[in-house]
Structure 1
Amino acid sequence: MDPSPHPLSQFVLKMHSRCDLACDHCYVYEHADQSWRGRPAVVSDEVLELTAKRVAEHARAHRLDTIHVVLHGGEPLLAGRDRLRLAAQNLSTALSGVCALDLRIHTNGVTLDEEFCELFAEFDIKVGVSLDGDRAANDLHRRYRNGRSSHTRVLRAIDLLNRPRYRHLFAGLLCTIDLRNDPVTVYDALAELAPPRIDFLLPHATWDEPPPRPDDSASDTPYGDWLLRVHDRWTAAGRPMGVRVLDSVLRTLRGASSLTESLGLAPVELAVIETDGALEQADSLKTAYDGAPGTGMNVTANSLDEMAVHPGIQARQQGLDGLCETCRECPVVRSCGGGLYAHRYNSAGGTGGFMNPSVYCADLKQLITGIRNREDQRMPTPQIPLDERHLDELAAGFGGTDAVELLARHELTVNRELLAAVWHESAHSATGTAAWETLAVLDTEAPESVDAVLAHPYLRPWAQRALRGDGPAGRIAMRGVAELAAAALLRAGHEGTVTVPTGSGVLRLPTLGALVVGDATEAQVTGGAEEGFTVRADGREYPVSHKYGADTAWWARHRFELAGWAVALEDTDPWRDAHGYPVMARLSPAATERWRHHLAAAWEWIRRELPAYAPGLAAGLSVVTPLREPTTGADISSAARDAFGAVGIARPGTPETLACLLVHEFQHVKLGAVLDLTDLYDPTCEQLFYAPWRPDPRPLEGLLQGTYAHIAVVDYWRARHRTAEGTAAHDAETRFARWREQTAEAVDTLLASTALTDLGERFVTAMGETVTNRLTDPVGPDALARAQESATRHRERSTARKQP
């Protein structure tokens, strides 16, 4: 059986199949699937033991870095402390030495007490609690069978979790939306409890059983409107906690991954283990029809590899290809992702099954476009200071999501300043003036679309060429302005037409792709149509579908939604030649697929073996530009100092090598952005320094860049030494030994240069601490000898080159 490209990493383990409340909106008991009736009330010792064994063998086989398990029900606390302890012990023991365990429990909270909290503290089990708002809101659904309110007991549980001793266990609140409840009142009631996160859920519904909507509503999108009111209240309050659905929309609008399976295009890697050991798909499918989550598999007889290739699981891992035509053509599909899979169900003929838009389609579109239109991601000041925490993260060689996003926002500010400089210093054509006015209007009405285009890594190379005056009468400048305006118009989905000068027979639309228009010198780009956009050039009309591929003249940008990383292959932008190596021409479908496969495998390797680098890379590296593969077989890669967010790479032979090139080059990208923000060294220093990885001596910035990049190289060979076998392991051990010693030496050279600023000394000292920590790893004497011999030969050759 072929393995799934997306191994399972998230599991819902049912501890108890009954509940002490009688919530009338519960998908387990009140919806179409009634399989709970035939299952044991409590999970058995055997199922717990087998589940831990299956999860561990799956994690080991796929070398996963973290397994996420939610203890669930019914109401899991009904399983009792002993059984919950057994589940935690089995999982912790099985995964010890294999990967990290993120263990959580979701409860209604009514029986939560200090003894449970002590158990959860012992195993670091995070606790999520269901609560629909104030008492009036919560009592609409969450009552005992005798009609008694559960609200007071839930508040008591939350008070317990907010105690200093247990606060670190509090994962957040889950609230199911009821339109009868005022959204601001609900939000305020939940926010008053100071949760670390709130998760608002649309009530489960399908086209067969649509969600309740008020008869007297003046809006066709009441659920979208409800959530937008929450968004506005949350934003006005300074966004004091995470709100998962809103954070997910914001992230997907920026091109990042969603935080929830109900939004975005990232593959779902989730399985449910029922109390009888049955392996099932997501619980939300219980709302579709009886038996919908079933797979016919059980932990007693089936591996999780078998579960991972079940058609129902794989149907939710296909990105755009797994959606119906209506969804694929929708302008907000990359944020919406078609909505929650269960909400697409329609038993009617012709559109039967799940190949339909969500029953909340209009609401989701209203929510996403509403947030998009409210968001202004521009930073008003030209400098964004790095606080000490972010600076220390980056100085250590890493940098998490927040730190790298901070760098990205500053680079966007720089790009805006460069665009303004191009406009003010170039001769304005009528076409350019009209495009500039369109861009200015969009910057007010749809700033996130403008920002997405202006953050394009190859804007800066274009702007620098335009400011140098390249091209006749500033044609490069005005063409670029028009291209940016047209791309922003299309991304915003607004009506209008932008006239764009073309070059070399190609219309460039940054971040979207390019259109071959032959001998035409200009083209009219018209947006606003639901199905796509239209280009007119030399009397010919080119309709381009949002599916991007209906016309062979349209070269759509290759964009891949990997697990936690959205990345594009750039093979159309003429300014992508900034990397110092020849670039590949337009890739064939087969070459594109080879790249996709390699990137997916390399990214999984990075997530698994170099997890400290993954969050920053996902936040800041959005473009990989394919370079022409050399005939020598050497590995070629580059990061351009003025193309933040992009790297150039000639596709290497293995995904592991690609992983090395990605983390190595992204180090240069990060440090370049840091140097745009801060002064780490005296720019008047003209001294050249020995660099262990170069045949020639380097200026101070060159040595700093190389040393910073080699922190990642050291960690790469450290991981390869740990994971490779045979001669590959011996080679990796030698390379690890060499590069850790020589990177530490380079750090010493930098610190001894006397050309670092105070901040630069602090930054390089932190770099050195990371490398020093690697020096304690055990390495065999043979590897040390080979490393020393290699280093000595390199220094001798370098010294010989300097001789007259």
Structure 2
Amino acid sequence: MRQTSPAHVLPARSFEELLGGGGDTTTVDALCASERSWRLLVVRALLDAAGTAPDGPLPPPADAWRLLVRAGAADPAAAERVLAYPATGVWAAHTLRRLRGSTEDDAPSWVHTGHLHALAASAAIAAGLDFRTTVPVRYGWAVLPGIGAMKVEGAPGGGAAEGGTLAGGTLAGGAPEGGVPGRAAVDDGASGWAAVEDGAPDWAAVEVCGDGDGRLTVAGRAVPGPGWHGLTRLDADGCALLLDDLDPYRTLRAPSVPEPLGSADDRDWRELFAGAWQVLREAGAEEARALARGLAVVVPRPRAERYRPHSASSGDAFGAALASLPDDAEQFAATLVHEFQHNKLSAFMHLFTLYEGGGDRLHYAPWRDDPRPLGGLLQGVYAFHGVAGFWRRRQHPLGRFEFALWRSQTAHALRSIADAEQLTDLGRRLVSELSARLRPWLAEPVDPRCLAAAELATADHRATWRAYHLRPDPRTVRAHAEALAQGTPPPDGPPAPALVPGRPTRGLDTRAVLLRRLLADPEGLTGLRDDPGAVVEGARPEDVALVTGRTDEALDAFRDRIAQGAGDPETWVGLALAARAAGHLAGAPLLAAPELAMALHTGQDPLDLALALTPGGSPVP
């Protein structure tokens, strides 16, 4: 493998593109090169730390590194693909933290350090080497990263497997480039197993071997064959990703057991990806090519509630996006854009410092239910800047709603951190560049119905977040209570409320999900009057009344809940939204400071109470 260069320098044009949220294929290639060096540094640190770690039944990690170097000499691209594989970064970072004692899990340390043998085996397979090595087996699975996994029957939960070769192989589902898949077999004789630790059946050992003729023996069964699961490829014209449901480090955080998808799920993912790629190309051909150059893996998760997809990425796993099974191709495309933005910024932050420390201060993040530190908010504004740009090019009602919502929320978040003391000069420049590119979008016309829905969702999220996470100063509450009792005006300039993270009882996006359903299918909420929570988790009949324009009905329902002692933050904010829609003067002050109204309420009419509040409230942190 080549020696790393002492430093990486981004071309000036690429630097400017990334500051503004963009980046073409040349820029992405530069990030990939820098991430290669970053990955090598982490792996080198891991090898140094593992020098004194117990090896269990495995050879020393240095043996695996020598095999990896040998594979790199025979086929440099093979070793590079293994090192660049996203889960490799998660493995290296997690194992290094484990060796340094900063994290824990249930596996012996040799299982983690021994994963390097599996990585080396994958590289050797791809390079067509004749080799022997030993790889760990955890919970009955022997995994070859980027290729597939064998369910090892008869193992007392897991162990180690000695692996051989698939001549001419590739890291794409186990099929060699231009050839027939190699074969594998496993020796399932009783003598092949050896317990590693008494009372630890999940970590055992099994002997496995191979030759240089394309045969891999893993206890007597062929690959592909019973017990073998290869990775699915998501192919489209101009883009190919691996769908990794097997790697123990694929889920970006704690190690996990392989969860092979069924054939129906495989088919769904392939069909959705083909449609998503077409949507991405329509939204921007150059951006799509850059995404295809940078993303390598999608980690599949089960389908989430409709319009509530789950996705994630990690700075340790450049090139990966974890995603729940999408509702449709367009949602999949938006998710890939979102997570690729995170990937780009994480790589950029490996090269440059955008903030220092960050302190203990938390901020309002318009896409989260919880307060976030500065670093998390920077990641969020970068990702949702890209999401807003994606939806800007989609012209149907739901697309216009998403564009109006995310341009507004992203602009709000950028304004909130523009003067953050922890930002470096470069961090301020990034915030400024994103703001400048977003500014013209704020003036673009949006259909009034879609715009009104986005404004409702925006006001709902901000106010409900306030009600859960801000606590008014006790002096403010006392002064307002005295003013109410005496019938005098409330005091001016009250101290700002304190941020005390709360625990929302439902998603702050609940009414936004109802709005999405309404825009996508105007008749879709017709049957939700009695039990909307059965369709949208957390939704109540009064929420449906609010978003469908039955304002008086919603106002009465929210008011009644508060009178009955069920005045949670969602109800108070729902009352404020309904009051505003009805033209009631109480709507604005109640939206501005719902936390103050909740602290002052002692049974009086909530609308009368709201009228007595100081207009405007304090800004969301």
TM score, norm. by length of structure 2: 0.63
User: 2:17 maps to what in 1?
Assistant: 393
* Structure 1 residues 738-777: aligned runs within 5 Å: 738-777=405-444
Aligned to 1:602: 276
Aligned-partner Cα distance in 1 for 2:90–2:462: 36
Deviation at 1:664, TM superposition (A): 0.9
- Counterpart CA distance in 2 for 1:550 and 1:602 is 29
Aligned to 1:512: 147
> Which residue does the alignment assign to 1:438?
67
Q: Structure 2 vs 1, CA of residues 549 and 499 (structure 1 numbering), >3 Å: closer, same or farther?
A: closer
Counterpart selection for 2:117 from 459, 477, 482: 482
Match of 1:402 in 2: 26
Q: 1:719 to 1:549 in 2, by over 3 A?
A: farther
Map 1:252-651 onto structure 2 (within 5 A): 378=2, 380-381=4-5, 383-426=7-50, 427=53, 429=55, 431-432=59-60, 433-467=62-96, 468-469=98-99, 474-520=109-155, 521-527=159-165, 529=167, 532-539=182-189, 550-578=224-252, 585-630=259-304, 634-651=308-325
The one of 369, 392, 402 aligned to 1:735:
402
Identity among equivalent pairs (%): 34
Distance 1:524 1:803, change over 3 A: closer
Mapped partners of 1:641, 1:529: distance in 2: 33
CA deviation map 1:336-395 (0-9, x unaligned)? xxxxxxxxxxxxxxxxxxxxxxxxxxxxxxxxxxxxxxxx6x461364232321111122
Runs of at least 5 residues in structure 2 that lack an aligned partner in the other structure = 169-179, 190-207, 472-621
Which stretch of structure 1 is more off in the superposition, 765-774 or 379-388? 379-388
SS state at 2:285 partner: coil
Mapped contact 2:184–2:224 kept (Cα < 8 A)? no
CA separation of 1:760 and 1:399: change in aligned 2, threshold 3 A: same
Cα deviation 1:445-497 (Å, max 9, x = unaligned): 33221111011111122223322136666312442111011111001012222
Q: CA deviation at 1:565?
A: 1.0
Cα distance in structure 1, aligned partners of 2:307 and 2:256: 15
Q: Which amino acid aligns with 2:40?
A: R
* Cα deviation 1:728-750 (Å, max 9, x = unaligned): x1x43233222212212222222
CA distance in 2, matches of 1:599, 1:580: 27
Matched to 2:59, the amino acid is T
Question: Distance in 2 between the 1:595 and 1:494 partners?
Answer: 33
> Are the equivalent residues in 2 in contact too, given 1:639–1:665 (CA < 8 A)?
yes
Task: Name whichever of 667-676 and 519-528 sits farther off.
Answer: 519-528
Q: Distance in 1 between matches of 2:95 and 2:428?
A: 37
Give the structure 2 partner of residue 225 of structure 1. Answer: none
Q: Distance in 2 between matches of 1:612 and 1:474?
A: 44
Match of 1:311 in 2: none
Q: Which residue of 1 aligns with 2:464?
A: 797
Matched residue type, 1:522 = A
Contact 1:581 1:627 in 2 (8 A): no
Q: Which residue identity lines up with residue 94 of structure 2 in the other structure?
A: R
Amino acid at match of 2:11: D
- SS of the residue corresponding to residue 524 of structure 1 reads strand
Which residue identity lines up with residue 769 of structure 1 in the other structure?
A
Deviation, 1:580, is 8.3
2:405 partner amino acid:
R
Amino acid corresponding to residue 75 of structure 2 in structure 1: A
One-letter code aligned to 1:487: S
Q: CA deviation at 1:584?
A: 8.0
Return the offset for 1:633: 6.7
Looking at structure 1, the residues matched to 330 and 8 of structure 2 have their Cα atoms a distance apart, in angstroms, of 35
Post-superposition shift, 1:541?
Answer: 8.1
Inter-CA distance 583–738: structure 2 relative to 1 (3 Å threshold): farther
Letter in 1 for 2:136: P
Q: Deviations over 1:206-229 (max 9, x none)?
A: xxxxxxxxxxxxxxxxxxxxxxxx
Deviation at 1:700, TM superposition (A): 0.9
Q: Secondary structure of 1:578's match?
A: coil
CA contact (8 A) 1:511 1:557 kept: yes
Q: Aligned partners of 1:458, 1:440: CA distance in 2, in Å?
A: 19
The match for 1:115 is none
Per mean C-alpha deviation after superposition, the further-off stretch among 422-431 and 412-421 is 422-431
- Relative to structure 1, is the Cα distance of residues 492 and 787 closer, same or farther in structure 2, using a 3 angstrom cutoff? same
Alpha-carbon spacing, 1:403–1:756, altered in 2? closer, same or farther (3 Å): same
Distance 1:544 1:443, change over 3 A: closer
Distance in 1 (CA, whole Å) between partners of 2:257 and 2:107 is: 25
Kindly state the Cα deviation for residue 791 of structure 1 after the two structures are TM-superposed: 1.8
Q: Which amino acid aligns with 1:455?
A: A
| Cα 1:550/1:749, change in 2 over 3 Å | same
**CA drift at 1:535:** 4.9
Structure 2 counterpart of 1:499, which letter?
T
- Cα pair 2:276 2:330 within 8 Å, conserved: yes
Aligned residues of 2:87 and 2:249 also touching (Cα < 8 A): yes
Contact kept? 2:244, 2:298, Cα under 8 Å: yes
Gap runs ≥5 in structure 1? 1-375
Distance in 2 separating the partners of 1:513 and 1:590: 19
CA distance in 2 between counterparts of 1:792 and 1:798 reads: 10
2:342: which partner in 1?
668
